[in-house]
Structure 1
């Protein structure tokens, strides 16, 4: 088969086509080398490799069949999107780092502090008066708080009388129903009432001391480890004291 020559330049067009094919192979080699050098995933291209491929493609396009302008525009749009996603990821990582630093600072300030949270147990120093709260859902004619020890034995029954809706305080002086001081330890508090002849149990909010804090590594909620009582989410804390 006779070769086709460009008589104005003296360049064999078949050679040009072969050279274009060779450069296209070189383009693939460049992409492989870039991924190998950067340690990138074989199935993903970084923005630098993508831009290098685009420039190489422009430089080595087939002169007999040049790349369509619309295809270049589409590739440039893809590159712009890739750049935007990369910038967004960097911003999100920065925000996440700041959030963790803020959590760590907040955690260090909570250790050793007293908090009040919804709970039914508390570690009580019976040599001092103990104050808790009952969450009253509506106006009640009577409210009772029953205190039991770790063995489930009833130690004290506190009659709070008539209460309005809201948080009602109660005080335990550390004595049993016989007026005798009991030993310090962990006690359970149960608040009950009667509404329309039916028994109703209510939430109690009790004080506790934060012994340590657990910070989530996945962006979850910070957990407070309460001395002798286990863990509780920070969102469940109603009051933070000294």
Structure 2
């Protein structure tokens, strides 16, 4: 609620809600706020014709309109406060890692890419193809047998861990260089070899608020993603 100027013992209510203050308010923000609305209504009551007073229904309608204006101002203030608090809390995610549905992720020095995929059926033939930034096949990892359900993995550029077990497989002595990679997970599902949807880890570079008021995470190698689409906070 807007605050009307301070009063003293010799000032009347109508003095504090004068036409001059209304004009000053309009010049400053060019909007009819709650204080200006109340000012107009009281001025109208003070200057009405005693022989033809304002109709009761019109007065009640104005009171209802005043309540609506007050309610909207309070709602707007509460919403701005809510969004500010959410943005402040979300800013703590900057520098952390989250998992979102994506085919690409960035491998950084001394770290790894975490990912997952859901299998509707168990399979004896699952493999992961990893492509570099130029689209060339960098590694093909034969995972083999995987049960039905969620499969999780971690890849550090050289070796891979699947469902908590380190595979007896190595890409060689030289690890893949840091950079952006695309992951393709293929598995036999109900008699067909299918590409599975993948969720991959990504670092949160910054946080912003979208046009619709939703919190947006700007992820390395992926781009802007709404916070509601994050599958896991690492």
TM-score (ref. length: structure 2): 0.71
Runs of at least 5 residues in structure 2 that lack an aligned partner in the other structure? 1-17, 160-169
> Cα–Cα, structure 1 residues 126 and 134, in superposed 2: closer, same or farther, change >3 Å?
farther
Note the C-alpha offset of 1:147: 0.6
Q: State how far apart, in whole Å, the 2-side matches of 1:119 and 1:171 are.
A: 15
Greater per-residue helix proportion: 1
Task: Identify the residue that residue 229 of structure 1 maps to in structure 2.
Answer: 222
1:121 aligns with 2:115: no
Q: Deviations over 1:177-233 (max 9, x none)?
A: 7524221111100122344554432221111111111223x5521111123432221
Q: Does 1:104 align with 2:87?
A: yes
Contact 1:103 1:215 in 2 (8 A): no
Measured in 2, the distance between the counterparts of 1:101 and 1:42 equals: 24
Aligned match of 2:5 = none
The within-5 A match list for 1:176-215 is 179-181=172-174, 182-215=176-209
- Which structure 2 residues correspond to residues 28-177 of structure 1 after superposition, within 5 A? 36-39=23-26, 46-57=37-48, 60-61=49-50, 63=51, 66-67=52-53, 71=55, 73-125=56-108, 129-136=112-119, 138-141=120-123, 142-175=125-158
Which structure dedicates a bigger proportion of its chain to strand?
A: 2
Cα 1:74–1:198, aligned 2, differ >3 Å: closer, same or farther? same
CA 1:79–1:165 in structure 2 vs 1: closer, same or farther (change >3 Å)? farther
Report the structure number with the largest CA radius of gyration. 1
Unmatched runs of 5 consecutive residues or more in structure 1: 1-30
* 3-state SS of paired residue (1:190): strand
